[in-house]
């Protein structure tokens, strides 16, 4: 099954923002992982920043993280459309077609969280993320 979710990037205040949205929208945080829980080398001042957060409210889901250390964040460009699938064939097809005339930021690749993941910006400047859950 395929799902489309907005993915918002923050400049170090993701956890505060997601708790704010949780309280205002009556939701529940289903996942919250900090950078120090992942395999990457992270500067000490960023270790407690959010690597991934999932907020559910009603039938809606918002995904979010703090920006990667060393990267810039521009408000307005900090929202991507995130497609979650369990079908690798369709994920690869959609990734390939949307990247035509666009820019691949991160090719589809296996990740430490057990998915194939990639990011691109399409020809209209829209940011996309693809996450295909792999069978365990």
| pLDDT tens column, 76-94 | 889 999 999 999 999 999 9
Locate the domains of the chain by residue range.
1-73, 91-136
| Distance, CA of 108 to CA of 8 (rounded, Å) | 20
DSSP secondary structure, 31-80, as one string: EEEEGGGSSS---GGGTTSEEEEEEEETTEEEEEEEPPTT----TTS-EE
Say which CATH class 1-73 falls into. Answer: alpha beta
CATH of domain 91-136: 3.30.720
What pLDDT does residue 4 have?
A: 92
User: Strand 127-133 relative to strand 79-85: parallel, antiparallel, unpaired?
Assistant: parallel
pLDDT score of 39: 85
Q: Is the dihedral of CA 108, 41, 73, 9 positive or negative?
A: positive
Give the C-alpha separation, 136 to 133, whole Å. Answer: 9
Q: Cα 87 vs. chain centroid, distance in angstroms? A: 18
132 half-sphere exposure, CB direction, 13 A CA radius: 18
**Rama region for 101: left / alpha / beta (φ>0; ψ in -120 to 50; rest):** left
The tens digit of pLDDT for each residue in 20-73 reads: 999 999 999 999 999 999 888 888 888 899 999 999 999 999 999 999 888 888
Q: What kind and span of H or E run contains 42?
A: none
- Torsions phi, psi for 23 (to 5 deg): -70, -45
Residue 125 has pLDDT above 90, yes or no: no
Residue with tokens 């990267």: 71
């Amino acid at each position: 099954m395929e799902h489309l979710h907005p993915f918002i990037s923050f400049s170090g205040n993701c956890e505060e923002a997601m708790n704010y949205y949780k309280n205002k929208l009556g939701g529940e945080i289903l996942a919250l992982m900090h950078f120090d829980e992942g395999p990457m080398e992270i500067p000490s001042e960023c270790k407690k920043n959010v690597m991934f957060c999932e907020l559910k409210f009603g039938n809606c889901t918002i995904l979010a993280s703090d920006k990667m250390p060393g990267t810039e964040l521009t408000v307005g460009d900090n929202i991507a459309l995130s497609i979650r699938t369990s079908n690798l064939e369709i994920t690869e097809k959609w990734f390939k077609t949307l990247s035509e005339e666009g820019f691949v930021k991160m090719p589809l690749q296996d990740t430490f969280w057990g998915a194939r993941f990639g990011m691109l910006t399409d020809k209209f400047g829209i940011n996309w993320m693809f996450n295909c859950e792999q069978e365990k």
